[in-house]
């Protein structure tokens, strides 16, 4: 089993990039946001243009991004599913706050997100997980990351997400936990989903699954060789 987990609005109840823009960017970021919502620019163009409007020093920005709060039940969720599932946080936001939040929570969950680049008086980003074939031109092609992490194993995939960046991969996932606008999208597109508000809800739903997934077979331990 493979959990593909969104970050902004999902693991972190607030949207990190929006919070950053609200605090440090020229208000013109809202006009750019509207262009993206209306489909006139893609998410890469949107984020690059918005982040260019930020004016603050590196230390200030790092401190802000390190203060991102995560869902209080996320750590328990990770501990519960880890024995029988692989997990990946796949976000079309910035990687720095995610990596920092996982480190702070003592969790080692692989992170696939846009690379944060601190600059002299602001912040930029690059797109190591974008793909020319991406149907929605995202910064991070969640469909391709899901495929890479699966690595041909044909794992049952579970998406946990809340927004526009989760729409494409929702079509491919075997099971979807949805909140926010992803609920409307799943409803409109006939994608079965389970609604959730927090990871406490996700955990409760997984614990109630009629078939409890069995832990994967562990590599046999090599016998201790005594010289
Ligand atoms: Mg989100």
199 CA from centroid of ligand 1 (Å): 14
126 CA from centroid of ligand 1 (Å): 19
6 CA from centroid of ligand 1 (Å): 6
Q: Residue 213: what pLDDT?
A: 52
User: What are the start-end ranges of the H helices in the chain?
Assistant: 16-24, 29-37, 43-51, 58-65, 74-81, 95-105, 142-150, 167-170, 181-188, 199-207
Please give the domain boundaries of the chain with CATH numbers for all domains. 2-207 (3.40.50.1000)
194 CA from centroid of ligand 1 (Å): 16
13 CA from centroid of ligand 1 (Å): 9
111 CA from centroid of ligand 1 (Å): 14
197 CA from centroid of ligand 1 (Å): 13
**Tokens standing for 78?**
């990770």
Q: Residue 227: what pLDDT?
A: 35
Checking if the pLDDT of 77 tops 90, the result is yes
Q: Residue 131: what pLDDT?
A: 87
12 CA from centroid of ligand 1 (Å): 9
Q: List pLDDT tens digits, range 29-59.
A: 999 999 998 989 998 999 999 999 999 999 9
Q: List pLDDT tens digits, range 110-163.
A: 999 999 999 989 999 999 998 888 777 788 999 999 999 999 999 999 999 999
CA distances from 111 to 53, 127, 226 (A): 26, 13, 40
N- to C-terminal Cα separation, the chain: 40
Q: Residue 134: what pLDDT?
A: 79
Beta pairing class for 2-5 and 157-161: parallel
**Which protein residues have their CB within 5 A of the ion that is ligand 1?**
6, 8-9, 162-163
**Tokens standing for 101?**
């939040």
Checking if the pLDDT of 225 tops 50, the result is no
């Amino acid at each position: 089993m493979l959990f593909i987990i969104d970050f902004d609005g999902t693991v972190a109840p607030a949207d990190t990039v929006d919070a950053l823009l609200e605090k440090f960017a020229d208000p013109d970021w809202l006009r750019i946001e509207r262009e993206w919502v209306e489909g006139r620019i893609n998410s890469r163009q949107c984020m690059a243009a918005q982040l260019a409007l930020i004016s603050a020093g590196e230390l200030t920005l790092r401190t802000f991004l390190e203060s991102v709060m995560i869902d209080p039940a996320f750590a328990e969720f990770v501990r519960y599913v880890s024995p029988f599932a692989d997990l990946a946080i796949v976000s079309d936001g910035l990687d720095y706050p995610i990596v920092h939040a996982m480190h702070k929570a003592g969790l080692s969950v692989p992170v696939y997100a846009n690379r944060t680049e601190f600059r002299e008086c602001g912040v930029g980003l690059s797109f190591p997980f974008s793909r020319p074939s991406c149907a929605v031109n995202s910064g991070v092609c969640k469909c391709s990351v899901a495929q890479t992490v699966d690595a041909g194993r044909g794992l049952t995939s579970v998406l946990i997400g809340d927004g526009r960046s989760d729409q494409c991969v929702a079509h491919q996932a075997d099971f979807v936990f949805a909140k926010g606008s992803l609920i409307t999208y799943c409803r409109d597109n006939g994608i079965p989903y389970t609604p959730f508000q927090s990871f406490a809800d996700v955990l409760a739903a997984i614990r109630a699954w009629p078939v409890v997934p069995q832990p994967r077979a562990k590599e046999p331990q090599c016998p201790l060789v005594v010289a």
